[in-house]
Amino acid sequence: MWFRSDLRVYDNPALMAARNQGTTCAIYFATPEQWREHDWSEGKISLVVAQVEALSRELAKLNIPLTVLRVERFADIPERLACWVRECSVTQVFFNYEYEINESACADAVTAMLHGESVPAWGYHDQCIIPPGQIRTRTGGVFKVFTAFKKVFLEQFPTRSRGIFNRPEMQHAKPFKGNSDALSEIPVERRWRSLWPMGENEAHDRLNRFIEHKINGYRDDRDVPSLDSTSALSPYLTLGCLSTTQCMHAAMSANYGRYQDGNPGVLTWINELIWREFYRHLMFAFPDICRYRPFKPETDLLPWSRDEALFSAWKTGQTGFPIVDAAMRQLLHLGWMHNRLRMVTAMFLTKDLFIDWRWGERYFMQMLVDGDLASNNGGWQWSASTGVDAAPYFRVFNPVRQSERFDPKGVFIRRYLPELAALDDRSIHQPSAAQARACGYPLPIVDHRLAVDSVKAHFKALSLID
Ligand code: FAD
């Protein structure tokens, strides 16, 4: 079993298939150079290392030895895997698909290399509830609008989705001893493990707690960042400690098995799982999004700004817009940001500062513990109005109005911007110049109204070209 972003023993189609074929051993490749090239954050790398350690312990309970090998890049994997296959007399290799360009090329190269060794390699879909490529328009095309995708997704869910796989049964004896020493060579920051404890048990506890205590209120509370009302499962899904199939079934079980009607909190959460699904299906159909290309190619003609000083103010939470700054400091502190605030900050960067969305996309990847190419790219292209089914360019969030609406008493702002804690509930969204100076807080780096007029003019000029 070749583990990748599927670091779990429960509901793992490839692992189950491997066990069904006989005695199983497992391998994982740590690829630090490739991770850096893919902008994996320090937090995400630390969590991956912790999760591989946890996985190794879970596999040991099943008598499945895990070998961890360190290579620098994906390109090194086929050769090393072929050697390991020979050393361990492996007769078949099982793995789950990944849909990003380099990951998918890596699996193709592995399959070809093993073919040369007369060892078949079998791929399985585990990342989506319905495998990508299977939800099609009536004419066989790809859905580019979420609501249409969702409608067909829900119609086809009973026939096209798979059931949940249990943990494979323990094998009688370990074929050999595993070795995960290579993990100790990878520098990790301990603080990430305390913020985000890893392990499948932890992921399931979080899922269960969410279903038990929060899902009922999810529809009403999910946009309020001070409430801790979302599942915070994204890092666990990104690493594959948990599957979206498991999440979907857990949500349905709280709604008497239903997924189209009933509990509004459950249905809203399922809607979010389907957004994740939508972006993955899009990436599968349009792999170019892995190459920083916009869905709407004409938007590449926009004269995006490359102002380093403004970009730096945004990154460090020094824009003078409290909700934006509090959100960016949440990202620095947790490696995670609330969904509403991801939209607010992404729109602020691309519309108020008119900075190239790819700068923001890359910075998010470099900071997030849940950095996921498909969802991150989807979110950024939505906010920048360069994507499919994106926010229309003329509907720009006003950061002050967003703040008043979703953090009315400034509870979230006060948590991350203690310098503003003493301001009253009204001024905290937009301190006056005198208040800002007194608090040692920056003045706004941009005039929202003027910026929006200018960005609309740029987009409008583009539609005239079109
Ligand atoms: P919940 O609200 O509990 O939702 C459950 C799960 O559904 C999430 O864990 C996630 O897997 C999925 N989900 C929820 N909302 C979305 C969405 N809008 N798009 C896709 N999937 C969704 N999500 C990532 O996992 N990784 C990213 O790198 C990422 N980057 C983003 C960048 C931008 C600019 C935006 C606007 C959104 C991004 N998202 C990303 C989507 C979303 O913000 C996070 O998935 C969500 O905030 C995670 O919190 P949660 O687990 O509490 O979500």
Query: Do strands 2-3 and 66-70 pair parallel, antiparallel, or not at all (unpaired)?
Result: unpaired
Nearest CA to ligand 1 atom 50: 232
How far apart CA 261 and CA 255 sit, in angstroms, is: 9
> Do the Cβ atoms of 336 and 369 come closer than 8 Å?
yes
Ligand 1 first shell, C-beta below 6 A: 222, 230-234, 237-238, 272-273, 275-276, 279, 339, 342-343, 346, 364, 368, 370-372, 375-376, 378-380, 383
State whether 334 and 455 are in the same domain.
yes
State the residue for tokens 């009607």.
261
Its ipTM equals 0.99
Catalytic choice (40, 192, 359, 380): 380
DSSP SS3 for 341 = helix
Same domain, 141 and 101: no
Neighbouring C-beta atoms of residue 330, cutoff 10 Å: 20
Residue 199 half-sphere exposure, CB side, CA atoms within 13 Å? Answer: 9
pLDDT score at 171: 96
Question: Which of the following is catalytic: 2, 40, 192, 304?
Answer: 304
Asked whether 228 and 240 are in contact (CB, 8 A), the reply is no
Task: Name which of 131, 137, 138 is nearest 149 in CA terms.
Answer: 137
Instruction: Choose among 355, 348, 354, 351: nearest CA to 321.
Output: 348
Virtual CA dihedral for 214, 217, 220, 225, nearest 10 degrees? -20
Does a structural domain hold residue 305?
Answer: yes
Neighbours of 116 (CB within 10 A): 9
Q: Which of 285, 319, 335 is the last residue of a domain?
A: 285
Question: Which segments of the chain have a pLDDT < 70?
Answer: 464-466
pLDDT score, position 13: 98
Could you tell which of 216, 234, 249, 277 is best to mutate to test the pocket of ligand 1, judged by most ligand atoms within 8 Å of the CB? 234
CATH code: domain of residue 365: 1.10.579.10
Whether 365 and 433 map to the same domain: the answer is: yes
Give me ligand 1 centre to Cα 273, in Å: 9
Contacts of 147 (CB under 8 A, 6+ apart): none
Is 234 labelled as part of a ligand binding site?
Answer: yes
The closest of 73, 64, 67 to 52, measured between CA atoms, is 67
Residues 68, 84: one domain?
A: yes
Percent of the chain's residues with pLDDT above 70: 99
The CATH number of whichever domain residue 251 belongs to comes to 1.25.40.80
- Do the domain assignments include residue 246? yes
What residues make up the domain containing 19?
Answer: 2-126
Whether residue 277 is annotated as binding a ligand: the answer is: yes
Q: Is 35 in the active site?
A: no
Q: What is the pLDDT of residues 125-159, one digit of tens each?
A: 999 999 999 999 999 999 999 999 999 999 999 99
Atom of ligand 1 nearest to the CA of 373: 28
* pLDDT tens-digit map of 86-118: 999 999 999 999 999 999 999 999 999 999 999
Q: Any catalytic annotation for residue 40? A: no
User: Is 276 annotated to bind ligand?
Assistant: yes
DSSP string, 83-130: HHHHHTT---EEEE---SHHHHHHHHHHHHHHHHTT--EEEE--SSSS
Q: Are residues 274 and 145 in the same domain?
A: yes
pTM check: above 0.95: yes
* Domain identity same for 102 and 134: no
Closest ligand 1 atom number to CA of residue 338: 47
What residues are paired with 131 via a beta bridge?
none
Are 268 and 152 within one domain?
yes
Residue nearest (by alpha carbon) to ligand 1 atom 44: 339
DSSP state of 226: G
Centre of ligand 1 from the C-alpha of residue 14, in Å: 25
Query: How many whole angstroms from 448 Cα to the centroid of ligand 1?
Result: 26
pLDDT of residue 173: 87
pLDDT at 314: 98
Task: Give the total number of structural domains in the chain.
Answer: 3
Distance 234 CA to ligand 1 centre (A): 6
pLDDT of residue 465: 59
What lies within 8 Å, CB to CB, of 295 at 6+ separation is 144, 286, 289, 381, 386, 387, 388, 390
